[in-house]
Amino acid sequence: MSVRVRFAPSPTGKLHVGSARTALFNWLFARHHHGTFILRIEDTDQKRSKPEFLDDLYASLAFLGITADEGPFFQSQRIDAYREQVQRLLKDGKALEDNGGIIFRVAPGQVTFNDLLHGDITVDTTLFESLVLMKSDGTPTYNFACVVDDALMKISHVIRGDDHIANTPKQVVLYQALGFSLPVFAHIPLIVGADRARLSKRFGATSVDEYRQVGYLPDAFLNYLVLLGWAPGNNRELVPREEIIQLFDLSKVRKAAAQFDQKKLDWLNGQYLKQTSVPKLAELLAERLRAKGWLKEPWDRARLERIAALIQDRLRVLEDIEEEHAFFFQEPAYQDEAVTQFLRRDSIMGHLAELRVRLSTVEPFDAAEIEQVTRALAAERRLSSKDLIQPARVAVTGRAVSPPLFETMAILGKGAVLKRLEHAVTLAGSPAKQESS
């Protein structure tokens, strides 16, 4: 059997993570079997279908590296095909006109279909005694258009979410009435949140675009999506794209709902970031920094690569460069708690002032020289190293937690470090903020 699968979204909202996983499973199945992956846009609901959602769909699939072999095909442009098939049913007396629409009377009995994951499923047809095929406005209903499209496009396997199981028996009777062969059905588990309910915004982002925007890597996000319901075996979690294609087996997709684990996604993305070459990581960071206006042309590539190498193991997503390491590119935003805890302590003002004086003479201004001067001052003043290093960290980064301090200071450069130490002395000497009563 020649494998032909399709992904058929409606452009009525941004591409949901669950829909993206459905697209991915179809695409992987096609690639594994050297088959055909078709993109079909179910846009017959013209009121809710928006161009911006179509743009988002294309961008999200491109982000994941999911490319169509055929399409996109638009249902709104296939009305003639639906009318032709409905005329066949009318002619054979299997459908009738009713209030301007066309309906299909379902004979009482049972309908059975086989699901690749769930086995045989039998449904009593009295649960749906009639099916609307065409609405009074001349547009087809979902179940009818879906059957006609899948049959005419010669779809071999219909791979979709568990939430479509209720639609399948209705579609089976239409396949049979039209004389079309049934495809193989496979209903994959839904993705749920921490509350075991269908993934919703209560537990974070739900669209692929939101994950793209904050800086998840395409291969990492694809790797994580495929683990939601399928596993490569041997407890492996980091699996390259090409190997996923080789190993992917639809029959091994689990039946139970897959829980979205944000911490696991963050860990997995962090692993991919660690494996990214420093020049490539610097390029990815540069895209974000330029978009924020923090990196002006021509920018110092060597400096950004030094920053990338220093923070690489600390990154969870690319957005962390803006959220946690902005001090490399602009004056630090001092955290009140860090200032209170580390700068407003006895004698700190004097220690930081002296550190500034000594660092002003350091040449070359590199991490080793900076560390030697700082630790020597701490020893001379009978301070533990951390009692000087931690206030200095807050002084130059504004934060209590940062990448290794001496390397950070070397990258910032002498001028910036001396300026920030001078500012920190004023913070150390100013009274703590008093809460208004």
Give the helix ranges, DSSP H, for 293-413: 301-311, 320-323, 336-338, 348-359, 367-380, 385-397, 405-412
Domain boundaries for CATH 1.10.8 within the chain: 276-328
Chain centre to alpha carbon of residue 174: 37
Angle 348-359/414-429 helices, nearest 10 degrees?
Answer: 160
pLDDT at residue 430, rounded to an integer: 65
CA-to-CA dists, residue 426 to 85, 357, 418, 419, 423, angstroms = 81, 15, 13, 11, 5
Distance CA 162, CA 255 (A): 9
| pTM for the model | 0.91
**Residue 200: pLDDT band by 50, 70, 90 thresholds?**
low
- In this structure, the strands spanning 258-259 and 130-134 are unpaired
Question: Which helix (H) or strand (E) element contains residue 427?
Answer: helix 414-429
**Residue 98: pLDDT band by 50, 70, 90 thresholds?**
very high
Per CATH, the number for 336-429 is 1.10.10.350
With H, G, I as helix, E, B as strand and everything else as coil, classify residue 258. Answer: strand
pLDDT at residue 432, rounded to an integer: 47
**What are 102-155's pLDDT values in tens digits?**
999 999 999 999 999 999 999 999 988 899 999 999 999 999 999 999 999 999
Higher pLDDT, 423 or 426: 423
pLDDT over 90 percentage in the chain: 87
Which residue in the block uniquely carries the two structure tokens 């800086």?
215
**What are 141-188's pLDDT values in tens digits?**
999 999 999 999 999 999 999 999 999 999 999 999 999 999 999 999
Domain boundaries for CATH 1.10.10.350 within the chain: 336-429
CATH 1.10.8 fits 276-328, yes or no: yes
pLDDT at 202 over 70: no
pLDDT at 436 over 70: no
Cis bond before residue 189 (omega within 30° of 0): no
**What are 377-398's pLDDT values in tens digits?**
999 999 999 999 999 999 999 9
Catalytic residue numbers, as ranges: 201
Distance CA 156, CA 5 (A): 6
Mean pLDDT score of the chain: 93
